[in-house]
Structure 1
Amino acid sequence: MKKMLLPLFMTKLIFSLVAGSLADADLAKITSHLKSPPEKPWTWVFYGDSITQGAVHTHGWRAFPEIFAECLRYENRRPLDRVINSGISGHTSEELLNGLQYDWRVRSLQPSVVIIMIGMNDIVSGRTPEKFQNNLSNLVDRIRSDGAIPILQTSNTIQKVENPTKPYQKNYLIRYERLPQYMEIVRTVAREKDVILVDHFSHWSKNAADPDVLASWLGETIHPGGRGHREIATLLLKTIGMYSPQSQTLRYPPEDKRRNPEK
């Protein structure tokens, strides 16, 4: 029996080491790609809801997928790489997992990387935490089976609506109360599936705890504004090793001297 225990133990150990290295292997692939000749392009797909789409509340500023695209294609000199925003306002994990939606918005594009942010609408759309976790896990499995690298992101923090009277305001309050639980599910799936995680919720909780800072990062109660999208893009870039403190794309727009004349 002793002769059999050692090989069995070693087998489990090796399996554990391999199983625990998927996220690191994915990061290594991304690093290798960024150093490869630009004539070997990748397709990067952003998949999510209105926050990913950058709907309305950026007030003309770039959304984080656009910022990412500029940093990748111009600043990192990869002009042939494609960055496609497949975010759609109002969507939940159910739509992202839907076969027709996924086939058109992801699979048909043959991506190398799929960057996901979802959950804000699941909270108020009848998706229980268990259902949300199951959908997210299945989505990660589907992306991997298609040969792409999945990256999971938690959402930004949001403002609390005091004394809501209108239905949409009540939904905002429900989101505020339940968002931490749903974002913990994203972390759990990332850990269990060994997926790269970009934890915006933790970053915002720490750095935008002041209500005035949070208000400056948001375009409205739950949607990031231009500054918020810059924060999201910055943390994503840092997580995958693509951030540069010299980035011009990540700087705030210069003041318009015609409106702010020097005195």
Structure 2
Amino acid sequence: MTADADVLARALASDAPLTWVLTGDSITHGLVHTQGGRTYAEHLHEIVRGELGRVRDAVIDTAISGWRIVQLLEDFDRRVATWRPQLVTVMIGTNDCSDAGAFPVITPAPFAESLTVFVRRVRELGAIPVLQTPPVVDVPNAPERSRIAAFAQAVRDVAAAEETILVDQFARFAELGNGEVPWGLMNDPFHPNATGHKALALELAEALGLDPTGSRVLPKLRADIAAGRLN
């Protein structure tokens, strides 16, 4: 358990309300690809404010489709600081690894440097940073994102160096796909579908130690993910 995980556990044991900010790119933004289903941020909302009964908590999704870590840093005040959060999760890298489009192509090293700045700015707010690796990509059908594994590793490296909570969605999706892309959880080569968002939510909840007594949501997520793997 990291020191941050211990701080979070104590915060969850308290009645003091928390503000949770989830930010990142299109995967966290959650438009289109769930086809009307809940995003992982919305599942987290139900777990926190519903099943844990933390009704005075606020769960806020500030992610924007197409964004990279440099844009998150440039708009940090609006995306993160203005909400005065106690916990901030970021899932980023799917666009950063791309070698197509208007942005300059970068390597994992400057990406990791920017992500480290992000983590430290979150800590300056007195909040807990949580780093999430992006899910796997179907590289043959998205060759511009062929470097995704190296960027996922960069997220892991920053988490280890900065001693943050890590949610390794990349590893989990690879496991669910038996080393490949779990197509039953995907809407296209790099966007999870509604079932994929259930997998993201479950992995995040478990990493954060969210285990409501008598939960109805978590068993349903597990069952739906298991069924989705077969599609």
Structures share a fold, TM > 0.5? yes
**Structure 2 residue aligned with 1:94:** 70
Which residues in structure 2 correspond to 1:138-177 (within 5 Å)?
A: 138-161=117-140, 172-175=142-145, 177=146
User: Unpaired segments of 5 or more residues in structure 1?
Assistant: 1-22, 163-171, 255-263
Distance in 2 (CA, whole Å) between partners of 1:249 and 1:92 is: 31
User: Unpaired segments of 5 or more residues in structure 2?
Assistant: 224-231
1:139-168 CA deviation, whole Å, 9 max, x = no partner? 111111111100000011122335xxxxxx
Q: CA RMSD in A?
A: 1.9
**Structure 1 residue aligned with 2:4:** 26
**Structure 2 residue aligned with 1:227:** 195
Distance 1:76 1:53, change over 3 A: same
Distance in 2 (CA, whole Å) between partners of 1:198 and 1:210 is: 18
SS of residue matched to 2:139: coil
Q: Give the letter aligned to residue 200 of structure 1.
A: Q
Q: Give the letter aligned to residue 57 of structure 1.
A: H
TM-score, length basis structure 1: 0.78
User: Deviation at 1:225?
Assistant: 0.5
CA contact (8 A) 2:41 2:61 kept: yes
**Structure 2 residue aligned with 1:43:** 19
- Tell which structure's C-alpha radius of gyration is larger: 1
TM-score, length basis structure 2: 0.88
Distance in 2 (CA, whole Å) between partners of 1:201 and 1:90 is: 19
CA contact (8 A) 2:4 2:165 kept: yes
CA contact (8 A) 2:52 2:212 kept: no
Distance in 2 (CA, whole Å) between partners of 1:69 and 1:203 is: 21
Q: Percent identity?
A: 36
1:159-205 CA deviation, whole Å, 9 max, x = no partner? 2335xxxxxxxxx2121x21111100000000011111000111111
CA contact (8 A) 2:133 2:152 kept: yes
**Structure 1 residue aligned with 2:211:** 243
**Structure 2 residue aligned with 1:113:** 87
**Structure 2 residue aligned with 1:82:** 58
User: Deviation at 1:249?
Assistant: 2.8
Distance in 1 (CA, whole Å) between partners of 2:179 and 2:130 is: 29
Aligned length: 217
SS of residue matched to 2:94: coil
User: Deviation at 1:30?
Assistant: 1.3
SS of residue matched to 1:51: helix
